[in-house]
Homo-oligomer: A and B are copies of this chain.
Amino acid sequence: MSDHPPFAVTVDVVLLTIRAGELSALVVRRGEAPYRGRWALPGGFVRPDEDLDAAAARELREETGLRHGFHLEQLRTYGAPRRDPRMRTVTVAYLALAPDLTSPVASTDAAEAEWRPVDALLSARPGLAFDHGRILGDALERARAKLEYSPLAAAFCPEEFTIGELRRVYETVWGTAIDPRNFHRKVSKTPGFLVPTGETTTRDGGRPAQLFRRGSLDLLNPPLTRG
C-alpha cells in the first residue's frame, strides 16, 4: 500500500461525425513503432498541471481546430498491463461528437489525420493500433445508446438544421429507417429540444423546412466541472 509505481496517463479521443451519410471517426496514421503505419485514435499525454477533461479538449483542438460546438464526455479508462508495449500506460478515453467539419479541418498538429467510416475501421485487418479498436467499439455503443434518451443527436448537426437532417443522423447511427412523420411529431413536441429560428430552407429539396437550433437546456457540453 506504500509503493506507487509510476504510470503514464494519456487521453484518447473518439471524435465521431457524419460524412457522406456514413458515421465516421477521426484517426491518425502512426509514424513510429509500435503499430507503425496503422490507424490510431488521436490522443496524447496528460500534462503535469492539466485536468483530464482539459487534456481531451486540448487534443481535440489540436487535431481539428475545434473550440466549441461539439460534445465531449468521458467514455471509459483502459489500463491493461501491456496495452502499450513501451511502458505501463493508462488511457482515459473520451467520446466527442461534432458536425461535419468541411471548413475547419485546419489541424495544428503535425500528424496526418483523416476521417474513416467507423464500420471500415472496426472490420479492417489489421485493426487499429493498441486497444483502440475496442475503444472505438465501446464509443460506438455509447453513442448509439445515448441517442435514445438524450438530445445528443443534434451534436452531429450544423448550427442550424432541419428536422429531416436530424432524422438522418439517427438513421445513420442506428442503421435503421425511421418514419419521418412520427419523428417530426416527436422531436417538435419535446419541449426545450429544438429552438426554431424562424428561417426556412429548401436545401434538402421539396417543401421548405423550418430551421432549428439546439435547445439550450440540453446535454450538449455539459458542465465539465460539476462543482
Residues of chain B lying within 8 A (CB to CB) of residue A6: 6-8
Q: Number of copies of this chain in the oligomer?
A: 2
Knowing A4-B87, A45-B1, A46-B7 touch, does A80 contact B51 (C-beta < 8 A)?
A: yes
The answer to whether the Cβ of A88 comes within 8 Å of any Cβ in the partner chain is: yes
The answer to whether the Cβ of A226 comes within 8 Å of any Cβ in the partner chain is: yes
The answer to whether the Cβ of A36 comes within 8 Å of any Cβ in the partner chain is: no
Residues of chain B lying within 8 A (CB to CB) of residue A78: 52
B45 to A3, Cβ gap below 8 A?
Answer: yes
Residues of chain B lying within 8 A (CB to CB) of residue A80: 51-52
Question: Interface readout for A67-95 with B: 1 if CB under 8 Å, 0 if not?
Answer: 00000001011111100000110101000
B44 to A1, Cβ gap below 8 A?
Answer: yes
Interface size of A as a range:
20 to 34
A92 to B74, Cβ gap below 8 A?
Answer: no
The answer to whether the Cβ of A9 comes within 8 Å of any Cβ in the partner chain is: yes
Bound complex: CA A134 to CA B8 (Å):
25
A48 to B8, Cβ gap below 8 A?
Answer: no
The answer to whether the Cβ of A49 comes within 8 Å of any Cβ in the partner chain is: yes
Residues of chain B lying within 8 A (CB to CB) of residue A8: 4, 6-7
Residues of chain B lying within 8 A (CB to CB) of residue A134: 226
The answer to whether the Cβ of A50 comes within 8 Å of any Cβ in the partner chain is: yes
The answer to whether the Cβ of A206 comes within 8 Å of any Cβ in the partner chain is: no
B51 to A77, Cβ gap below 8 A?
Answer: no
Q: Which residues of A contact B (CB under 8 A)?
A: 1, 3-9, 44-52, 74, 76-81, 87-88, 90, 92, 134, 226
Query: Could you list 18 examples of A-B contacts with CB < 8 Å?
Result: A1-B45, A4-B8, A4-B45, A4-B87, A6-B7, A7-B8, A7-B46, A9-B90, A46-B79, A49-B81, A51-B79, A51-B80, A52-B78, A52-B79, A52-B80, A74-B77, A90-B90, A134-B226
